[in-house]
Amino acid sequence: MSLLQKGSRPSAEQRTDGNRLEAATVSISTKTKVQRRRPPSPLSVVTLIVLLGLVVAPLVMVFIGAFLNGAPGLPKSDWSLKAILSVYASPDYLWPLVGTLILAVVTAGLSVVIGTLFAWLVARTNMFIRRVLEWGVILPLFISPFIGAVAWNLLGAPRSGIINTNLRWLLGLDDDAVLINISTMPGVVFVMLLYFMPYAYQLVGSSLRNMDPGLEEASYMNGRGIIATAFKVTLPIVRPALTAAFFMIAILATGVFTIPLALGVNTGFAPLGMHVYLKMTQFPVNPPVAAAIGTLIFWLTLLGIYFYRRSIRNARRFVTLGGKATRRREVKLGWMRVPATVLVALFGLFAAVLPIIALLITALTPYAMTDFRSMQFSLETITQVLGSIDVWNSLLNTVWLSLLAPTLAVLVAFAVAYVVVRERGRLGGALDYLATFPVAVPGIVFAMGILWLYIRTPIYATVAVLTIALVAAFLPTATRFSTTGLMQIDPSLEEAARMSGASRMRAALTITLPLVRPAILAAWSLLFIFASREVNETVLLALPSTRPLAVLAWDHINANDPGAAAVVSILLMLFMAAGLLIARFVFRTRLDSSNL
């Protein structure tokens, strides 16, 4: 059919084809609208109900508790504004609020700066033994920050710390000389930096590995040096990762309380998370005030998660990974090669090697001796602790938690990711936001809501309550892995199964789930570590019969028994290492810097 000339009238055949085209267009448009208006699937409805119970209900209990004059569930608890006014309208919590913000911002800022430097050194330079040093950087992820704080209290306590005690006689100083005092705010920042910086390293390092090295090569060819290329090309491209790392670490640091308590901070400042814990555990307990402080922390972290999600949403504008491969240039450090290697090695020394040595020394000295000249080693403390029934009960509880919580978390996360990525219905956005929401709720605050929600149920004071708390806390991490894995799988595979007569559920279970298995197993392995070491979500919920090893170590520290705490901490690290090895050979999956 020839093209119409200007001003000519269409023929009958042309008019008929036009009508057919218009009718087909209307049909497609109507079909699209029908698809968009289709009702939510049963899977999305069930997943929404699960998320409301896991995430929303505990948070609602915290807000309810803040407006009572007693703990929720008690017969004499009535509505009152006393707790809210004592927190929001009183200057008593102004300094803790400001201090918490400063602590979170400083920790996040330093973590991003150091993490970015280390990621660049490992990914771009000719630094010595880069692979070995990289494992030294990410090794703190497998050590509980609380255990690291306990170890650094043994190392840097002003009077009895191993470092101060032995440097005094080595340098000929007085017995009252204090060279290192970890029980200060800089000490708290230092320890938090050791165990939060690896998160920034992972995010920035992944972005550096995925960016197109041709952009840096073009900068070098135009005469720019290493520093100019890093600031003009590399850093602007990885800016979304920098922003995401900053807000994520700031959110985590806002609710921390175990590190300041373990270090015995004596500056008169206590972060808001510590106030929540003390109000719930020390006499006289005041649950309404603890809940009111928890709501205050929630508003801070909610603001942080808003900016965190914005940084992730805008990250697509900075995607530079293309199909054309370009060999990455290795930056020659020259005389800086040795100092750079030493700098990264020192981090691994401070974050992992020295804390483990301190725990071993404390576990092998029955009288907590720190002077190397008079130190006597014995297996008495180890034998006594390992002979206690409490340790083996706690080990059994840790096994249950580390198996159940990751398994349930990845199952719920897969359902969320499937609805968000595959169905894209009305509830997809809501489920995505709810699954990420636990990041905005500090562990101690979330545990308080779980406690009040289940206190009058049959599962209260059981391992099941701790499992529910951990599943909710780990949901954002598991959802991230599942969503990434699903986005890499072509949906046409499921469509082929559907055309062959399989139901949507069968296609998801037989086609999609096996293909996304590597991402799910990597998430499970990582959550196994987190479930084994977690204290924030479990310390308020655990009783002597249900406490895991991490909480048992916490109780020994509170009882001023560092030897027993050291033995339990070493046992916990051995358990995590054994679990990782088993997962490595059974699941045939690895935890490296690309999937952490």
- Give CA angle at 186 (113, 107), nearest 5°: 35
Please say whether the beta carbons of 69 and 77 come within 8 A.
yes
- Please provide the DSSP assignment of 413-475 as one string: HHHHHHIIIII--TTHHHHHHHHHGGGGS-HHHHHHHHHHHHTTSTTTTSHHHHHHHHHHHHH
Let me know if residue 564 belongs to a domain.
yes
Please say whether the beta carbons of 265 and 185 come within 8 A.
yes
Q: In the 8-state DSSP scheme, what is residue 540?
A: T
**CA–CA dist 361, 377 (Å, integer):** 8
Residue 529: exposed, middle, or buried by beta-carbon count in 10 A (0-12, 13-18, 19+)? buried
pLDDT for the residue 2: 40
454's CB contacts (< 8 A; 6+ apart) are 460, 465, 468
**CA–CA dist 53, 418 (Å, integer):** 19
Closest CA to 141 of 525, 411, 518: 525
Do you know the residue count of the chain? 596
Let me know if residue 534 belongs to a domain.
yes
Residue 444, phi then psi, degrees to nearest 5: -65, -35
- Look at the chain and report how many structural domains it folds into: 1
Where on the phi/psi map is residue 7: left (φ > 0), alpha (ψ -120 to 50), or beta? left
- Give CA angle at 593 (587, 596), nearest 5°: 60
H-helix segments, 534-561 = 549-558
SS (H, E, C) 48-98: HHHHHHHHHHHHHHHHHHHCECCCCCCCCCCECCHHHHHHHCCHHHHHHHH
Amino acid (1-letter code) at residue 234: T
The interaxial angle of helices 337-348 and 130-138, nearest 10 deg, is 30
Let me know if residue 91 belongs to a domain.
no
**CA–CA dist 410, 587 (Å, integer):** 15
pLDDT for the residue 328: 63
Please say whether the beta carbons of 111 and 190 come within 8 A.
no
Where on the phi/psi map is residue 332: left (φ > 0), alpha (ψ -120 to 50), or beta? beta
The pTM of this model reads 0.83
Let me know if residue 533 belongs to a domain.
yes
pLDDT by position in tens, the chain (length 596): 444 344 445 555 445 555 554 544 444 444 444 445 567 788 888 999 999 999 999 999 999 999 998 888 777 778 999 999 999 988 888 888 898 999 999 999 999 999 999 988 988 888 998 888 888 888 888 788 889 999 999 998 888 889 988 988 888 888 777 888 888 888 899 999 999 999 889 888 877 776 767 777 777 777 777 777 777 777 777 777 788 788 888 888 888 888 888 887 665 678 888 888 889 888 888 999 999 999 998 888 888 777 776 766 654 444 444 444 455 667 788 888 999 999 999 999 999 999 999 999 999 987 767 778 888 888 889 999 999 999 999 999 999 999 999 999 999 998 898 888 877 667 777 888 888 888 778 888 889 999 999 988 888 889 999 999 999 999 988 888 888 777 767 777 777 777 777 777 777 777 777 777 877 888 888 889 889 988 888 998 999 899 999 999 999 988 888 899 999 999 999 998 888 787 767 666 555 444 44
**CA–CA dist 445, 291 (Å, integer):** 7
CATH number for the domain including 570? 1.10.3720.10
Let me know if residue 567 belongs to a domain.
yes
557's CB contacts (< 8 A; 6+ apart) are 150, 262, 565
**CA–CA dist 100, 273 (Å, integer):** 9
Let me know if residue 243 belongs to a domain.
no
Let me know if residue 222 belongs to a domain.
no
pLDDT for the residue 66: 92
Q: Which domain holds residue 593?
A: 379-596
Please say whether the beta carbons of 172 and 166 come within 8 A.
no
Please say whether the beta carbons of 234 and 212 come within 8 A.
no
**CA–CA dist 54, 473 (Å, integer):** 9
**CA–CA dist 18, 404 (Å, integer):** 61
**CA–CA dist 77, 266 (Å, integer):** 35
Let me know if residue 191 belongs to a domain.
no
Closest CA to 429 of 83, 44, 159, 14: 44
- 59: its two tokens: 């948070």
Q: Write down the residue that tokens 């500090």 correspond to.
A: 442
